[in-house]
Amino acid sequence: MNLQEIKPYTECNVLIVDDEPISRMLLESILEPVFRCTTAESGHEALLYCAENAPDLVLLDMNMPDINGLEVCKTLKQSPVTSQIPVIFVTSTLDVESENACWEVGASDFVMKPVNASTLTHRIKTHIQNKLRTEFLEKMTFHDQLTGLYNRTYLTKEIPLLIRQVARDQSNIGAIMIDIDYFKLFNDNYGHLEGDLCLQKVAKIISDTVKRPKDAVIRFGGEEFLVLLPYIDYQGTKIVAQQLVEAVTNASIPHGKGIEGRVSISAGFAVWKAADVVDDDYSALVEDADISLFEAKERGRNQAKG
């Protein structure tokens, strides 16, 4: 597949880091016609920029007065926000020791000054392609295609790691199981394609309502969603579950056969001490939430039950 269709090079942000204005200008003049370039004149500025903007690639000068390039690269590789950004060193002196140091701090490549414009451009293209491909595959592996939410693969692969982390911090994990009310009737009434659009709308409402960065929204089944909330108590989970129910009714998505003529959801929730999840088996927690969901349905739907 041609990744340029997803993100053309002109939209790929390349950060040029060099303390010498002439070097920055030269690199920029070579690269600007092909990529979207930004410059930074110090290691400090580069780190701040990367944490805020996560560029697609960093061209990094090795010798800079404040923080040298090796330190900058090391710091970038340590943070989950910036660790995936490929770093290419641009250097005028490269002995075996510095060359090895580049690889050790996680560089993707290096080029010598004075640079050959064509080689530099092609190397950058290659590393950006690799990054985009990895991101694309990750997205395909861990996300549901219809709603863009996390899928079951994400749940089985990543959630145990999250729960272990929460257990180490001696905190809780909340689970909310959500199911759209009378969704079969929605499909029967409006057709399957309109049903898909409705699923997308509900998914967006859920992810807009669940805001903390470590919270995870998973498409658990056809019209069922699982929300996992680390570091939360019973009351907090209950509030989120109620907000979710309200947010969906407030969106007033028409559903002739639904409650008060609109789409609604039922939500069941449970909260566990993360340490009580044994052997990475979170299924009992999910089952607890599922039992509450069943009760919410029994009690008339369009409500949260814990």
From residue 83, how far is each of 55, 86, 108, 141, 239 by CA, in Å?
A: 11, 8, 11, 20, 35
Beta carbon of residue 69, minimum distance to Mg ion (angstroms, whole number): 8
Q: Which of 47, 207, 57, 214 is nearest to 135 (CA)?
A: 57
Find the part of the chain contacting ligand GH3 (CB under 6 A) among 7-15, 34-42, 195-203, 287-295: 195-203
- Cross-strand bridge partners of residue 175: 228, 270
Which residues, 6 or more positions from 104, have their beta carbon under 8 angstroms from its beta carbon? none
Q: For residues 273 and 5, what is the distance between their CA atoms, to the nearest angstrom?
A: 45
To 10 degrees, what angle do helices 192-209 and 183-190 make?
140
Out of 61, 109, 215, 288, the only residue in the binding site for Mg ion (CB under 5 A) is 61
Minimum CB separation from ligand GH3 for residue 81, in Å? Answer: 33
Q: Which stretch binds ligand GH3 (CB under 6 A): 96-104, 152-160, 194-202, 210-218?
A: 194-202
Candidate residues 1, 145, 192, 213; the one interacting with ligand GH3 per rule CB under 6 A: 192
Contacting ligand GH3 (CB under 6 A), which of 196, 280, 281, 298? 196
12-51 positions binding Mg ion, by CB under 5 A: 19
- Whole-angstrom distance, CA of residue 57 vs CA of residue 121: 12
Tokens 């929460």 sit at which residue?
Answer: 166
Smallest CA-to-CA distance from 46 within 22, 93, 13 is with: 13
141 contacts: CB under 8 Å, gap ≥ 6 = 153, 154
Name which of residues 221 to 240 contact ligand GH3 (CB under 6 A). 222-223
- Specify whether 223 is catalytic: yes
> What's the half-sphere exposure (Cβ side, CA atoms, 13 Å) at 170?
0
Out of 91, 187, 243, 249, point to the residue binding ligand GH3 (CB under 6 A): 187
The binding track of 286-305 with respect to ligand GH3, each residue x by CB under 6 A or -, is -----------x---x----
Interface residue with ligand GH3, options 168, 184, 257, 273 (CB under 6 A): 184
Whose Cβ is closer to Mg ion: residue 57's or residue 180's? 180
Contact flag: residue 195 with ligand GH3 (CB under 6 A): yes
143 binds, among Mg ion, ligand GH3, none (CB under 5 to 8 A by kind): none
Catalytic pick from 41, 104, 223, 224? 223
Query: Which residues of this chain interact with Mg ion, rule CB under 5 A?
Result: 19, 61, 63-64, 179-180, 183
